[in-house]
Amino acid sequence: MGIEVTVEGLTKSFGPQTVWQDVTLTLPPGEVTVMLGPSGTGKTVFLKSVIGLLKPEQGRVLVDGVDMVNSPEREIYRARRLFGLMFQDGALFGSLNLYDNIAFPLREHTRKKESEIRRTVMERMEMVGLVGSEAKLPGEISGGMRKRAGLARALVLDPQIVLCDEPDSGLDPVRTSYLSQLLIDLNAQIDATMLIVTHNLDIAATVPDNIGMLFRRELVAFGPREDLLASRIPVVRQFLSGRRAGPIGMSEEKDEAALALERADRPGPETDRPRPVPAQLEPSPGLPARRAVERRRARQHGLQPGGAA
């Protein structure tokens, strides 16, 4: 089962520029969370802070008893073994074929025999639909295949927390749809806690259990998918509808004068009411039910998993 990740009062700056401040949230064990936000709001910085690759100035990130911000490096390194990280571009080695790319973490961080490595690599390649492509180089395959290879590599050490940095970037809508289903199917199979950074509204609408949104250097919203998709918070509504009218501008937030002018130009009833909330994707036929669904239902009703009070 996945591990709970607790973020408390996290603040990150680069020099005088504050990226975000006082971010507090909990990633429930085994559930899928999507982090949204306009470009430049620090979503990838947040992801790297969770795994301890960047050091925030304030706050804590608690993972299995380890503070990924303030603990000694040896403890952070140990806790980092609980993570699998899928980089935005796949981050594959161009000179290695897909098999060797996916096997790399096992050869680097374990003492497993090649027979054990092969079994694990082929299992992960089957999970992401890459069996038969073992000998191909990254330059010989499509962007979607590189994404899946990067995801397979993130899974070979059996992580309990999986971080995905814009897994849909560069993919067309059809491949993004396949990717959305793949993420749900993986969660059903490995029951890992998952955090996905994305701009993609289709992924946000159909994949996660929870959604967060960063804007104006703050976490402006975090909660169950259904609540966020029906939110009346102006910046959330604007982002999810893709409209120009609202607090988000071309480069950053709009000032009060611009917002007042927009309101003056929009008399009458509002037309940007939240759209109906689509159903969450379910695992493909033949796969187990997502255990996170039962745990989430129990958590929301104050029960123990299985229904006991």
d(CA 162, CA 83): 6
Please count the other Cβ atoms lying within 10 Å of the Cβ belonging to residue 248.
Answer: 21
Is the dihedral angle over the CA atoms 46, 47, 53, 59 positive or is it negative? positive
Task: Return the higher-pLDDT residue of 259 and 193.
Answer: 193
Q: Which two tokens stand for residue 211?
A: 């959604």
Residue 242's pLDDT is what?
A: 82
**pLDDT tens per residue, range 278-295:** 999 999 999 999 999 998
Confidence of residue 75 (pLDDT cuts 50, 70, 90): very high
Q: Which residues, at least 6 apart from 284, have a Cβ–Cβ distance to it below 8 Å?
A: 181, 185
Residue 309's pLDDT is what?
A: 46
Phi, psi (degrees; rounded to nearest 5) at 184: -65, -45
d(CA 205, CA 10): 26
Percentage of residues of the chain with pLDDT beyond 90: 72
Q: In the beta sheet, which residues pair with residue 27?
A: 5
**pLDDT tens per residue, range 41-50:** 999 999 999 9
Out of 22-26, 243-247, 290-294, give the one with best mean pLDDT. Answer: 22-26
Superfamily of domain 5-82+159-300: P-loop containing nucleotide triphosphate hydrolases (3.40.50.300)
Query: Which letter does DSSP use for residue 138 in this model?
Result: G
Say which range, 5-9, 278-282, 298-302, has the weakest mean pLDDT: 298-302
What mean pLDDT comes out for the span 66-80? 95
d(CA 163, CA 105): 16
For residue 98, give Cα distances in angstroms to 73, 139, 165: 31, 10, 20
Please count the other Cβ atoms lying within 10 Å of the Cβ belonging to residue 204.
Answer: 22
Residue 195's pLDDT is what?
A: 98
Q: Is residue 119 predicted with pLDDT exceeding 70?
A: yes
Confidence of residue 268 (pLDDT cuts 50, 70, 90): very low
Q: Is residue 272 predicted with pLDDT exceeding 90?
A: no
As a whole number, the mean pLDDT across the chain is 89
Task: Give residue 9's identity as a one-letter amino acid code.
Answer: G
Phi, psi (degrees; rounded to nearest 5) at 79: -65, -30
Residue 241's pLDDT is what?
A: 86
**pLDDT tens per residue, range 133-162:** 999 999 999 888 999 999 999 999 999 999
- The model's pTM is 0.88
Q: Is residue 270 predicted with pLDDT exceeding 70?
A: no
